[in-house]
Amino acid sequence: MSARVVLQQADIARALTRISHEILESNRGADDLVLLGIPTRGVILADRIAALISGIAGTAIEAGSLDVTMYRDDLAKHPTRTPAPTHIPASGIDGKTVVLIDDVLYSGRTIRAALDAIGDIGRPRAVRLATLVDRGHRELPIRPDFVGKNLPSAQTERINVHLVELDGADLVSIDEVRA
Amino acid sequence: MRHLLSTRDLSRDAAIELLDVAEDMADTQLREVKKLPTLRGKTVVNLFFEDSTRTRISFEAAAKRLSADVINFSAKGSSVSKGESLKDTAQTLQAMGADAVVIRHPASGAPQTLATSGWIDAGILNAGDGTHEHPTQALLDAYTIRKRVHGSASRGKDLDGLRVTLVGDVLHSRVARSNVWLLTTLGATVSLVSPPTLVPVNTTGWPVAIGYDLDEAIEGKPDVIMMLRIQAERMRDAFFPNSREYSKRWGLDDGRLGKLQATTIVMHPGPMNRGLEISAAAADSPQSTVREQVTNGVSVRMAALYLLLSGDREDA
């Protein structure tokens, strides 16, 4: 059971740069843009993309985090999860374009929870979704707007995203969990 | 967490986790929509065999903000007055499908009995039992202290090095007992100041220093001073000559308030006997956290309910 590396550090950097350009293009600039990362690694990615977009557009854009634990539909099926903090930028999300950012998009249930959480915080003009890896197997009608890498996978496989800030290296790998 | 019965058996990590979850809950209470869908479909029963205002309302608000259904039960006007036993009441609740029972009872150990008897599968939350414990009160006190000391950077922090003085009716106070254990677990040094007649008979094993002189304690510059309520309803003896005498020697009056350091936090679990154990000026001063304690109580109880009711019960 050895992990197969599918994205190296340079691949991740290129993917994030491309996503940053795509977000700017679809939003026609950096105005009224708020990035919300989903803990844990989505928050790191949101900060990186915010820095990239600020560099490209020349204006600082706001990034925060959105914890979805309290909105999950599978709380009773797992051991108790500890929530992570939510930080919404001070100017709020009303009338803004919110881009949700997560590391891996899988069943879509996390994003469903995130949409409910956003509804309780305010009313954005639009909500978009960016993900570093889309591994398929959606269980809900949810589709990402910005994708770093499409990674068709079997449900028995496991996708591991490592980021420098947390894991010491930038790396995406796949390994087989169940036979 | 399966039950929350006392703070004595709460580990440091478990206590800090609960306080951190309470911070997240407090954040959600600043939103436009305060209600979270987390405990949708769960039933929380408030089983109150003793009078209570803030604890019952606080638990009810906490459960409702998490979308649980709340059933309020008070012994007055129920079949308890017809002589129903705790066992039969518990089995009735079990038959109705309660997921958590918040119990307040005049007998120490009643929540423990419910939790271990096998009469009911629900998670049990102790909301005050006799003169034993009141864990959520101690947790909200710890939360309030941590918030005052560390401000917005309080996540993950403990109470290392803080000196807390509890003053008054320790004998009848479950709040004092829960605080002694919890605050010590979190790293604080706890001391008690009380009339000799209101010190528990046996305090062996309590991690505290016991004094009898409030002025001496104030000269020691404590970081926190917590006034306990004189529990007249539990007093079947003359523990002090009269209330004026008590107030003069052990009450936080205006003179003593002036001698406190400006940074000392003044706490009271409520309900207050203004003019007896605490003066109106002390209760309403900027150093007082009485109202913060009530606000924080809802967040702490949301955290307790969340940790008790979410997650796979088989793993707990």
Neighbours of B268 (CB within 10 A): 26
Q: What is the pLDDT of residues B295-305, one digit of tens each?
A: 999 999 999 99
Write out pLDDT tens, residues B43-65. 999 999 998 889 999 999 999 99
| B12-133+295-309 and B135-289 in the same fold | yes
Report which secondary-structure segment, H or E, holds B111: helix B110-117
- DSSP per residue over B260-289, as a string? S-TT-EEE--S---BTTTB-HHHHTSTTB-
CA–CA distances in Å: residue A113 to residues A38, A67, A71, A103, B27: 11, 9, 5, 15, 17
Tokens standing for residue B57: 């309302």
- What DSSP designation does B83 have? T
The answer to whether position A150 is within a domain reads: yes
pLDDT at residue B6, as a whole number? 96
pLDDT of res. A176: 84
Does the structure show a pLDDT above 80 at B122?
yes
**Tally of domains within chain A:** 1
- With respect to residue A15, please indicate whether it lies within any of the assigned structural domains: yes
B82 vs B313: CA distance, rounded Å: 34
CATH number (domain holding residue A55): 3.40.50.2020
Rounded mean pLDDT of B262-275?
Answer: 95
- Taking contacts as CB-CB distances below 8 angstroms, the residues of chain B near A39 are none
The model's pLDDT over B205-226, given as tens digits with 9 standing for 90+, comes to 999 999 999 999 999 999 999 9
pLDDT at A3: 84
Residue pLDDT, tens place only, A33-75: 999 999 999 999 999 999 999 999 999 999 999 999 999 988 8
B311·A78 Cβ contact <8 A: yes
- In this prediction the pTM is 0.90
Position A1 scores a pLDDT of 53
**Closest alpha carbon within chain B to A87:** B27
The CATH fold assigned to B135-289 is: Rossmann fold (3.40.50)
Percent of chain B whose pLDDT exceeds 90: 83
- Predicted ipTM of the assembly: 0.80
Q: Does some domain include residue A169?
A: no
Chain A CB within 8 Å of residue B13 CB: no
Residue A178 lies in a domain: no
Residue B139 clears pLDDT 90, i.e. is over it: yes
CB B266 within 8 A of CB B252: yes
Order the strands of the B189-193 sheet from edge to edge. Answer: B208-211, B189-193, B163-167, B224-227, B265-267
Chain B residues with CB inside 8 Å of A71's CB? 36-38
Residue B313 has pLDDT above 70, yes or no: no
B123 backbone dihedrals φ, ψ, rounded to 5°: -70, 140
A98 and A124 Cβ atoms separated by less than 8 Å = yes
What are the residues whose beta carbons fall under 8 Å from the beta carbon of B69, sequence distance 6 or more?
A: B41, B42, B43, B44, B63
Class for domain B12-133+295-309, per CATH? alpha beta
The values of phi and psi at residue B252, to 5°, are: -85, 90
- In this prediction, residue B316 has a pLDDT band, given cuts at 50, 70 and 90, of very low
From CA A53, how far away is CA B205, in angstroms rounded?
60
Are the beta carbons of B310 and A76 separated by less than 8 Å? Answer: yes
Most A CBs within 10 Å: which of B3, B16, B27, B42, as the mutation test of the A interface? Answer: B27
In this structure, of A130-134, B78-82, B191-195, B259-263, the range with the lowest mean pLDDT score is B78-82
**Domain extent for A97:** 10-72+83-155
Residue A171, domain member (yes or no): no
The answer on pLDDT for B311 being more than 80 is no
Q: What is the C-alpha separation between A23 and A130, in angstroms, rounded?
A: 9
Is A151 a domain residue? yes
From A75, A78, A120, residue closest to B33, measured CB to CB: A120
Q: Is residue A110 part of a domain?
A: yes
Return the closest-CA partner of residue B105 out of B85, B77, B82.
B85
In this predicted structure, what is the pLDDT of residue A78?
85
Q: Average pLDDT of B170-193? A: 97
Residues in A lying within 8 Å of B, measured between beta carbons: 67, 70-71, 75-86, 116, 119-122
pLDDT score, position B315? 43
The whole-chain average pLDDT of chain B stands at 93
B225: which 2 tokens? 């001073």
Task: Provide the chain B residues 46-85 that lie in CB contact (below 8 A) with chain A.
Answer: 66
Specify if A118 maps to a domain.
yes
Domain assignments of chain B as residue spans, ordered by start: 12-133+295-309, 135-289
Interface test with B, best of A65, A80, A82, A120 (most B CBs within 10 A): A80
Q: What is the pLDDT of residue B31?
A: 85
**Which parts of chain A register pLDDT below 70?**
1, 178-179
Percent of chain A exceeding pLDDT 70 equals 98
